[in-house]
Amino acid sequence: MAQFRLQGSKTLAVDMTGDLVKAKNGSMVAYTGQMNFKKLSGGGDGIRGMVTRRLTGEQMTVMEVKGQGTCYFADQATEINLVRLNGETLYVESDNLLCTEGTLKTGTSFTGLNGVSSGNGLFTTKVEGHGWAAVTSKGPAIILRVSQGMPLRVDPGAYVAHTGNLNRSIKSGAGWSTFIGEGGGEAVQVEFTGEGLVYVQPSEKLTVGGDV
């Protein structure tokens, strides 16, 4: 069993005893002991996954890390959030997925047309199974709970990941003022309904909808 822990808030330490983890290509910063690094083509989901990822634009360059000792991962000084999955599914943008335990399965999932305007693309990465996953965020992420009757709206640029049984749909707050260039900068939002958790970062990446 690989043991995930945080070394500070920006470095992930994984203690391994001969098992394997999948991590973003090139994200290792240091290790002790014996480690082997092998690139997995197409996100490590096999030929079918590779083709899907190519087609969907959710390309991930992933490497397989196997060995004995402690391996440290970090990505451009972003904050790291540990997510423990017990059979549920984590949806995350492929850019934000740093490392997953070998026991977890990754794949792509169709998010529907709403991805286009949010700039997140039509597809997102799906992680499922039992084990640890490490998700990066620009600045410390907050975790917001969504329950029945309490929908949550998130700026698409600040959305990082979500778990649970959630539906997402795009909501537009654009009015006539948006079209004459006087929008509040919040014309597009993602609405989550159902039961689950949403990870939101205190930073907004550039999205198509972010300008209006």
Partner 1 sequence: MAFTKINSKMIEARVVPGQRLFSQRGAMLAYTGEVRFTPNITGGQGGVMSMIGRRVANEDTPLMTVEGQGTVMFGHGGHHVQVIDLTGDTLYVEADRLLAFEGSLQQSTMFMGSQGGVMGMVRGQVTGQGLFTTKLDGHGAVAVMAHGGVFELPITPNQPVHVDPQAYVAHRGQVQNKLSTALGWRDMIGRGSGEAFQLELSGHGTVYVQASEEKL
Answer for which of 58, 75, 93, 101 binds partner 1 (CB under 8 A) is 75
Which residue number, 35 or 174, has a Cβ lying nearer to partner 1?
Answer: 35
Which residue number, 22 or 168, has a Cβ lying nearer to partner 1?
Answer: 22
In sequence order, what are the residues at sequence separation of 6 or more whose Cβ sits closer than 8 angstroms to the Cβ of residue 51? 42
Which residue number, 98 or 146, has a Cβ lying nearer to partner 1?
Answer: 98
Angle at 27 between CA 25 and CA 33, to 5 degrees: 105
Amino acid letter for position 71: C
Which residue number, 9 or 177, has a Cβ lying nearer to partner 1?
Answer: 9
72 binds partner 1 (CB under 8 A): yes
- Residues 136 and 96 sit within 8 Å (Cβ to Cβ): yes
Answer for which of 3, 5, 38, 179 binds partner 1 (CB under 8 A) is 38
Residue with tokens 């929908």: 151
CB of residue 103 to partner 1, shortest distance in Å = 20
- Which of 7-15, 45-53, 83-91, 161-169 is the region at the interface with partner 1 (rule: CB under 8 A)? 7-15
Tell me how far apart the alpha carbons of residues 151 and 24 are, in angstroms, rounded to a whole number: 32
Which residue number, 38 or 54, has a Cβ lying nearer to partner 1?
Answer: 38
In sequence order, what are the residues at sequence separation of 6 or more whose Cβ sits closer than 8 angstroms to the Cβ of residue 168? 111, 112, 114, 162, 190, 191, 192
Tell me how far apart the alpha carbons of residues 164 and 2 are, in angstroms, rounded to a whole number: 24
Residues that bind partner 1 (CB under 8 A): 7-11, 25-33, 35-39, 41, 61, 63-64, 72, 74-77
